[in-house]
Amino acid sequence: MKKNLSIIILAAGAGTRMKSTTPKVLHTISGKPMLYYSILESLKLSDDITVVIYHQAQRVQSSMEQFFQKELETGQLKFVVQDHENYPGTGGAVMNITPTHEKTLVLNADMPLIQASELEKFDIDATIVMSVLELDSADGYGRVVVENGNVVKIVEQKDANEQELAITTANAGIYQFDTQFLLEHLPKLNNNNAQKEYYITDLVEMAINQGLSLKPLAVSVENFKGVNSKVELSQAEVIHQNRIKEAFLKQGVIMRLPDTIYIEYGVQIEGESILENGVTLLGNSKLINAHIKTNSVVEDSVVEDSDVGPMGRVRPGSVLKDTHIGNFVETKKAKLTGVKAGHLSYLGDCEIDEGTNIGCGTITCNYDGMNKHQTIIGKNVFVGSDTQLVAPVTIEDDVIIAAGSTITKNISKGSLAITRAPLKVIKDYFYKFFNK
């Protein structure tokens, strides 16, 4: 792929319309901050990417550092702080950046649905290539004023007159500039507008007035939707989720009522896995020929040739292989191979081996109030219902644990373990007690 393109991502805005203490670009879509997707797609197209930050700059930068360490080290990706006090606005954001390539693509970071394949369409020879949305209502967007079939200028909603407000052609907010033009004209921007900001959109009118070439590129909301509020955040996530699910369906995953299923970006599914309604798959989970039943949650875990649920919860660090996890069973950092745990159990910080049956109500007591401890259970162990395993504890192969036992010591191979108060039966006690 040729990478003779510079990219500037605008992520400095306060995002007041989100009504949140979290910076807008860190609000998540399918489990990742919006800005993550802008950077991810940009990396496919450019070796010169600058992210402009200002509001909660440190927080935004640290959040991205955890994903893009390598690219920051090589210099493919850079952060620049906007001189927001003196030059607020989308125009102010691109000042003081010197792109290294002939063409510069400018992206708003609040467009999480953007894909590199769509951005490649801006590769047109013109002074400015701008993205245009045809909408039922352009509310919230800058309006594109067109006269005699030609773009004249972009008017922001807050500056628009009644006639301009009625326009349904919107500026989607992505532009490709001739870098030379951009550098020469940025200093000419002014802030004579309702928001007292320097608008990048004013460059459009400047180019037109000078008779330079401007190419409007028609784009769709599916890819170019802007997120300014929590309503739009939720709408964008629906589109993003549908994209993720459609890709898995095409790949052979079976989904019952896909609209009720939530799959974060980063989840992998292989083989003929089945997802029933209400399933949630989070983090970097990996499913291989798995059957996840109604309303179960799998987070940062591996589920291979196994079934979970309905209403199972597989928490981070679990690795299930040839295993059956039934309703109301919770696992965490549990390595289960060939295990059956049908009902109502907590299996945390444990390793359990083939042929072992975990009775209903079994609990690995992994936490002593200060530290977490391991439970190791061997092969073919029969763990009776309502057993508590006080960790650290090891149960060797071929052990039987009687129902209701509290296991505080290691149990050797082939043994029966039973802790039980002797059963007492008092005849006719009921009648005496209730005087009947």
Positions marked catalytic: 343
Q: Which partner from the list ligand UD1, Ca ion, none does 401 bind, CB cut-off 5 to 8 Å by kind?
A: none
396 belongs to an annotated ligand binding site:
no
Phi, psi of 154 (to 5 degrees): -115, 130
The rounded distance, in Å, linking the Cα atoms of 329 and 363 is 10
Q: Measured from the CB atom, is 82 or 223 closer to ligand UD1? A: 82
Q: How far is the CB of 141 from ligand UD1 (least distance, A)?
A: 4
Least distance to ligand UD1 from the beta carbon of 149, Å? 20
Closest approach of Cβ 150 to ligand UD1, in Å?
Answer: 18
Residue among 12 and 381 whose Cβ is closer to ligand UD1: 12
Is the CB of 39 or the CB of 282 nearer to Ca ion?
39
d(CA 151, CA 144): 7
Q: What is the chain's length?
A: 436
Min dist. Cβ of residue 85 to ligand UD1 (A)? 10
Q: Is 15 in the site for Ca ion (CB under 5 A)?
A: no
Residue 348 interacting entry, from ligand UD1, Ca ion, none, C-beta within 5 to 8 Å by type: none
The reply to whether 91 sits in an annotated binding site is no
Q: Which does 109 bind (CB under 5 to 8 A by kind): Ca ion, ligand UD1, none?
A: ligand UD1
Residues that bind ligand UD1 (CB under 6 A): 10-13, 52, 82, 84, 88-90, 92-93, 108-110, 141-142, 154, 156, 170-173, 199-201, 226, 228
Give 175's Cβ-side CA count (13 Å radius).
Answer: 24
Q: Which is nearer to ligand UD1, 80 or 399 (CB)?
A: 80
Say if residues 52 and 93 touch (Cβ distance below 8 Å): yes
Residue 213 region by backbone torsions, left for phi larger than 0, else alpha for psi between -120 and 50, else beta: beta
* Cβ 288 vs Cβ 322: under 8 Å: no
Pick from Ca ion, ligand UD1, none: which does 89 bind, CB < 5 to 8 A by kind? ligand UD1
CB of 109: closest distance to ligand UD1 in angstroms? 4
Do residues 300 and 286 touch, judged by C-beta distance below 8 A?
no
| Closest distance to ligand UD1 from the beta carbon of 52 (Å) | 5
Annotation-wise, does 148 bind a ligand?
no
Asked if 401 and 378 count as a contact pair (C-beta separation under 8 A), the reply is no
Question: Residue 141 touches which of Ca ion, ligand UD1, none (CB < 5 to 8 A by kind)?
Answer: ligand UD1
Q: Which of 41, 48, 110, 330 binds Ca ion (CB under 5 A)?
A: 110
Q: Is 391 labelled as part of a ligand binding site?
A: no
Q: Is 133 exposed, middle or buried (0-12, 13-18, 19+ CB in 10 A)?
A: buried
Flag whether 367 is marked binding. yes
Separation of CA 245 from chain center: 14
Cα 362 from Cα 391, distance rounded (Å): 13
* Residue 225: CB minimum distance to Ca ion, A: 10
Under the binding rule (CB under 5 A), the answer on residue 31 touching Ca ion is no
Residue 12 in marked binding region: yes
Nearer to ligand UD1 (CB atom), residue 156 or residue 330: 156
| Residue located via tokens 């391991």 | 374
Summarize the chain as % helix, strand, coil (round to 5).
25, 35, 45
Q: Which does 175 bind (CB under 5 to 8 A by kind): ligand UD1, Ca ion, none?
A: none
Determine whether the annotation assigns residue 404 to a binding site.
no
Tell the burial category of 399 from Cβ atoms under 10 Å away from its Cβ (0-12, 13-18, 19+): buried
Residue nearer to ligand UD1 on the CB measure, 119 or 172: 172
3-state secondary structure of 367: strand
Name the closest residue to ligand UD1 (Cβ): 142
| Cβ pair 208, 151 in contact under 8 A | yes
287 CB burial (10 A radius; 0-12, 13-18, 19+): buried
| Binding flag, residue 300, Ca ion (CB under 5 A) | no
156 near Ca ion (CB under 5 A): no
Please name the amino acid found at residue 62: S
| Residue 289 among known ligand-binding residues | no
Closer to ligand UD1 by Cβ: residue 104 or 285: 104
Query: Partners of 51 in the beta sheet?
Result: 9, 79
CA distance 116 to 185: 27
What are the start-end ranges of the E strands in 163-283? 169-178, 214-219, 254-255, 262-263, 268-270, 274-275, 280-282
Is 199 annotated as a binding-site member? no
Q: Are 232 and 108 in contact (CB under 8 A)?
A: no
Contacts (CB under 5 A) with Ca ion, residues 221-240: 226, 228
Binding footprint of Ca ion, residue count (CB under 5 A): 3
Using CB under 5 A, list all residues that contact Ca ion.
110, 226, 228
Indicate the annotated binding residues. 10-13, 24, 89-90, 110, 142, 156, 171, 228, 315, 332, 346, 357, 366-367, 385, 403, 420
